[in-house]
Amino acid sequence: MAQIVECVPNFSEGRNKEVIDAIAQAIASVDGCSLLDVDPGVSTNRTVYTFVGSPESVVEGALNGARMAMQLIDMKRHHGEHKRLGALDVCPFIPVQGVTMEDCVQCAKMFGERAAMELGIPVYLYGAASDQEYRKTVPQIRTGEYEGLSDKIKKAEWEPDYGPAEFIPTWGATIAGARKFLIAYNINILGTKEQAHRLALNLRTQGRGPDQPGQISECQGMGWYLEEANMAQVSLNLLDYHQGGMHTAFEECVKDAKELKLGVCGSQIVGLVPLEAMLFTADYYIEKENLFIVGEDQKIRLVIERLGLNSVTPFDPKTRIIEYIVDSVEDGPLMSMPLRQFIYSLGSRSSAPGGGSASAAIAAMGVALAAMVGWLTYGNKKFEALDSQMRKLIPPLRQAMLEFIPMVDADTNAFSGFMEAKKLPKSTPEEQEIREKALQDGLKAAVQVPLNVIQTATKVWNQMVELAKVGNINSKSDLQVGARSLETAVWGAFYNVKINLQDITDETYKKEVLDEAESSLETAQEKCKEILNILEERK
Q: Hey, which residues are catalytic here?
A: 82, 411
Neighbours of 17 (CB within 10 A): 10
SS3 sequence, 322-361? HHHHCHHHCCCCCCCCCHHHHHHHHCCCCCCCCHHHHHHH
3-state SS assignment for residue 314 = coil
CA distance 517 to 485: 17
Cβ–Cβ < 8 Å for 5, 106: no
Q: What are the beta bridge partners of residue 40?
A: 47
User: Can you tell me the distance from the alpha carbon of 461 to that of 56, in angstroms, rounded to the nearest whole number?
Assistant: 47
- Can you tell me the distance from the alpha carbon of 313 to that of 459, in angstroms, rounded to the nearest whole number? 43
Angle at 307 between CA 306 and CA 312, to 5 degrees: 130
- The closest alpha carbon to 285, from 306, 311, 304, belongs to 306
Cβ atoms 413, 386 nearer than 8 A: no
Alpha carbon 497 to its chain's center? 32
DSSP string, 12-29: S-SS-HHHHHHHHHHHHT
* Residue 116, CB-side half-sphere exposure with 13 Å CA sphere: 20
Eight-class DSSP state of 221 = E
Q: How many residues does the chain have?
A: 539
3-state secondary structure string, 360-372?
A: HHHHHHHHHHHHH
Cis-peptide, bond into residue 333, ω within 30° of zero: no
- β-pair type (174-178, 123-127): parallel
Q: State whether residue 131 is helix, strand or coil.
A: coil
H or E stretch covering 218:
none
